[in-house]
Amino acid sequence: MTTQMDTMPCLDEFEKLLVRMNTPRVMIDNAGCVNATLVMIDSARKDGILLEAVQALTDLNLLIKKGYVSSDGSWNMDVFHVTNLDGSKLTDDSIISCIQHSLGTIHHKRSKSIDGMTAIELTGTDRVGLLSEVFAVLSDLKCDVVESKLWTHNGRIASLIYLKDCESGCQIDDSQKIESMEARLRNVLKGDNDIRSAKTSVSIAVTHTERRLHQMMFADRDYERTSSVTKTRGECSTDVSVQNCLEKGYSIVNIQCKDRPKLLFDVVFTLTDMQYTVFHAKIDTEKNGAYLEFFIRHTDGTAINSETEKLRVTLCLRAAIERRASEGVRLELCKEDKPGLLADVTRTFRENALNVTRAEISTSMGKAENIFYVTDALGNHVDSKIIDSVRQRIGLDYLRVKELPSPYRNQEKAENVEEGGAVLLALGSLLRRNLYNLGSIIKSYS
């Protein structure tokens, strides 16, 4: 078999050694674990390599069920137990090949290409109907939304929107149109009582959409804000603690929370972006939750040295975990794309007092494939009759309910119990009446 080294005869031995040291060695084992595929990455230690590895696995829609990270001196060894979204081992050779290629080139990744699109970044105060107003402005300016993601947390909103010009189908390069769009969107974001300055900006390149959303919300200091809105997130408590191990010079971060896809990515990215280096880690997920432990230091090699800093790390990690947490009813829209579609759909949400807490918007082959999580104006679950009414207006075949959060399921169970109890009560009353009547009949014949 021809190796990478064989194809570089012009390199001297030292250069070959450098290439070998800077190219992660990836091993995939399907026999070592009963219910997961083992992915092992052996590489020279380098800042950010753990994040790049986790991001590569996450972008392939793989679930990391367990993991062990160990850095010994200048060398790094990561072991991940991964499955597909169905919780099964990886048996598709094409997926395994993608893993090997993605992880084997993590030192050489480039920014995501957004050629032919204009990226707009938005941050501001969340409110009912905000997304509707944003898409109405873009529709009025003849801008086609190709892809977008929106997160909300603690009363704040961050969104990254990729646009094309409707008429030319290309990137928007008209400076006057861009200035007009920024000004109008900034006014929408400010609303009537935004206590902070709403922000809009045009990006040339974006490293990673979700990494950028985290950075935008972190810069907006959403972790410091306490929302006055009653949230449904109370059902999935997040416990974060930070303590120091003085003997080894590490700070130890322990996290216990509800498991979900991309959890590890969100945590590792936050630590990396806050200038902490992970030396050792253990990740374990079970049916009742996820347990994560990290041994970290500042990039200068020191541990966390104050209670204030410990509190900041705790708040930032909790915020990173909660930003992506799904609130409300999950609605999926699948419909032929057309100009103004998003403006029409989100206007219907607004007219029915539905608040979009998270959104993932994409178009493929002329078809819109969008996901919305919606609550009522106070952040509570929506009456099913309102959801039915919205679906009727948009189209039952186009807008479907794909996921109900726990409050809905609990309510349904309670209603079923009430109905069952009412039936039993009625049967009991009927039985008592019949027995009473039977007793009267027996007495009359005695």
342 and 220 assigned to the same domain = yes
Can you give the pLDDT at residue 102?
A: 86
Domain span at 157:
122-206+216-224+327-402
Which of 286, 296, 373, 368 lies closest to 327 in space, CA to CA?
A: 373
Can you give the pLDDT at residue 407?
A: 46
Distance, CA of 354 to CA of 131 (rounded, Å) = 11
336 and 193 assigned to the same domain = yes
pLDDT tens-digit profile of 259-286?
999 999 999 999 999 999 999 999 999 8
Tell me how far CA of residue 176 lies from CA of 139, 142, 183, in angstroms: 17, 14, 11
Cβ atoms of 158 and 213 within 8 Å: the answer is yes
Is 249 inside a domain boundary?
Answer: yes
Can you give the pLDDT at residue 121?
A: 94
191 and 334 assigned to the same domain = yes
Can you give the pLDDT at residue 281?
A: 97
Can you give the pLDDT at residue 308?
A: 96
> How many structural domains compose the chain?
3
Can you give the pLDDT at residue 420?
A: 47
User: Side chain identity at 69, as an amino acid letter?
Assistant: V
Can you give the pLDDT at residue 250?
A: 95
Strand order from edge to edge, sheet including 399-403: 199-203, 118-125, 156-165, 143-153, 355-364, 367-375, 329-336, 399-403
Can you give the pLDDT at residue 205?
A: 59
220 and 347 assigned to the same domain = yes
267 and 308 assigned to the same domain = yes
21 and 165 assigned to the same domain = no
Can you give the pLDDT at residue 114?
A: 63
Can you give the pLDDT at residue 128?
A: 94
pLDDT tens-digit profile of 198-256?
788 887 556 689 999 999 999 999 998 665 444 444 445 899 999 999 888 999 999 99
Cβ atoms of 50 and 283 within 8 Å: the answer is no
Beta strands in 246-299 (DSSP E): 250-257, 276-286, 289-298
For the chain, list residues with pLDDT below 70.
1-22, 106-115, 193-197, 204-207, 225-236, 403-446
Is 428 inside a domain boundary?
Answer: no
137 and 73 assigned to the same domain = no
220 and 332 assigned to the same domain = yes
Distance, CA of 168 to CA of 150 (rounded, Å) = 26
| CATH number, domain containing residue 282 | 3.30.70.260
Q: Which residue has the tokens 């959801």?
A: 387
Concatenate the DSSP letters of all residues of 341-409 into one string: HHHHHHHHHHHTT-EEEEEEEEEETTEEEEEEEEE-TTSSPPPHHHHHHHHHHH-TTTEEEEE--HHHH
38 and 175 assigned to the same domain = no
93 and 149 assigned to the same domain = no
- In angstroms, how far is CA 430 from the centroid of its own chain? 53
